[in-house]
């Protein structure tokens, strides 16, 4: 590739990164004079690349919005970032279609220069994850984009939803935001029919349709905090109440916001949030067998207020640990 042609392609790459670039900035990046930059811009325009000239003190050149551009050119670092993002997103379940992420990665891989592709292949072969890939039900891309548009413009959206028990319903939702958590997509907002805030899994929505009208997003916690608090207060078989002596940070290390809620057991003598004190911990669970090891790992004084079955499980774990410690 001749040097002028290479500089023209570099100019296109700089403009594709967005914003308005001054002639002085482009000349410095390309290592040429300002009049040469203008000549390169004319060459791009001759190739039907929509370059706009911006006048004024901070003027320069930019790409016109809304036009179909030639294929994006990716540097080594950019190609690595895109492919790793696709791999990590597929691994975490944060994709709409697994095949879409696979075909996108294959297309990027196919057009890379050979030396870059070899280096990326070596990285992907050497890359390992500490967790196992999960099986996730991914949402429909059209539904995800429809709901996202409703969030952005604060428009009501009609959804057809199937809950975990297989019951189907049609609801009108004032969606506050979309949250990705633990490999799943959720939308949180006000369910107009129930008159209360609700969180819905996007993969369980069969249809989404934007409705006329608008709404105001209420003050208070953001969408992510709403989803986590909803998990912590969801209906399960057991309601657990504990008192744990420690800091909120120590307790959250083992019982995060998606699992448990924290509150003051009694007025704190020290207002410092890092001070150790008795905190009330409430959570709901379908099973209790996972809790005794978690409480043991906390290594903080605690009291089980309810249920009585949890006290028995904690005592049984303590007996097993003591027996193991005495074993020779």
Identify the three-state secondary structure at position 140: coil
Sequence-distant (≥ 6) Cβ neighbours of residue 275 within 8 angstroms: 247, 268
Task: Round to whole Å and give the CA distance between 57 and 65.
Answer: 21
Average of per-residue pLDDT values in the chain:
83
Comparing 230 with 316, the larger pLDDT belongs to: 316
Compute how many other C-beta atoms are within 10 angstroms of the C-beta atom of residue 37. Answer: 24
- The predicted pLDDT at position 182 comes to 72
Of residues 303 and 193, the one with the higher pLDDT is 303
Residue 317's closest CA among 305, 304, 328?
A: 304
What pLDDT score was predicted for residue 313? Answer: 93
pLDDT over 60 at 133, yes or no: no
Q: Specify the DSSP element, H or E, that contains 179.
A: strand 168-181
Q: Which of 71-85, 125-139, 278-292 has the lowest mean pLDDT?
A: 125-139
Written as six digits, the tokens of 72 are 């994006």
pLDDT over threshold 90, residue 259: no
pLDDT at 3: 65
Q: What is the pLDDT of residues 102-126, one digit of tens each?
A: 777 777 777 677 777 787 777 777 7
Residue 1 pLDDT: 43
pLDDT score of 240? 93
Q: How far apart are CA 29 and CA 40, in angstroms?
A: 13
Q: What's the pLDDT at 130?
A: 66
- Regarding predicted confidence, which is higher, 205 or 107? 205
| Verdict on whether the full-model pTM lies above 0.75 | no
- Per residue in 194-204, pLDDT (tens digit) is 888 888 998 89
Give the residue-averaged pLDDT of 26-35.
89
Q: Please check the confidence at residue 64 and state whether its pLDDT lies above 50.
A: yes
Q: Based on the number of CB atoms within 10 Å of its own CB, is 131 exposed (0-12), middle (13-18) or buried (19 or more)?
A: exposed
85 — pLDDT class (breaks 50, 70, 90): confident
Q: Would the pLDDT of 160 be above 90?
A: yes
Structure confidence at residue 269 (pLDDT): 55
């Amino acid at each position: 590739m001749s040097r002028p042609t290479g500089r023209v392609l570099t100019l296109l790459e700089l403009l594709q990164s967005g914003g308005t670039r001054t002639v002085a900035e482009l000349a410095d990046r390309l290592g040429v004079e300002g009049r040469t930059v203008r000549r390169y811009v004319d060459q791009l325009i001759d190739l039907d690349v929509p370059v706009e000239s911006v006048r004024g003190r901070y003027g320069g050149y930019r790409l016109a919005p809304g036009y179909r551009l030639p294929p994006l050119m990716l540097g080594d670092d950019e190609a690595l970032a895109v492919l790793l993002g696709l791999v990590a997103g597929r691994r975490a379940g944060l994709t709409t279609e697994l095949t879409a992420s696979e075909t996108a990665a294959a297309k990027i891989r196919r057009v890379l220069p050979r030396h870059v592709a070899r280096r990326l292949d070596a990285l992907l072969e050497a890359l390992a994850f500490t967790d196992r890939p999960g099986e996730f039900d991914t949402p429909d891309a059209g539904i995800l984009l429809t709901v996202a548009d409703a969030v952005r413009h604060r428009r009501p959206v009609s959804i057809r939803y199937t809950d975990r028990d297989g019951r189907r319903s049609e609801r009108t939702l004032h969606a506050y935001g979309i949250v990705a958590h633990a490999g799943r997509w959720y939308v949180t907002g006000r369910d107009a029919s129930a008159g209360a805030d609700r969180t819905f899994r996007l993969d369980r929505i069969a249809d989404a349709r934007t409705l006329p009208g608008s709404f105001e997003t209420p003050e208070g916690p953001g969408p992510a905090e709403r989803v986590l608090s909803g998990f912590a207060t969801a209906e399960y078989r057991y309601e657990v109440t504990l008192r744990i002596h420690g800091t909120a940070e120590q307790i959250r290390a083992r019982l995060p916001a998606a699992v448990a809620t924290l509150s003051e057991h009694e007025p704190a003598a020290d207002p410092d949030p890092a001070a150790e004190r008795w905190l009330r911990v409430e959570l709901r669970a379908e099973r209790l067998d996972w809790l005794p090891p978690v409480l043991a790992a906390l290594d903080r004084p605690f009291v089980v207020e309810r249920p009585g079955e949890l006290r028995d499980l904690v005592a049984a774990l303590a007996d097993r640990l003591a027996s193991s410690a005495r074993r020779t």
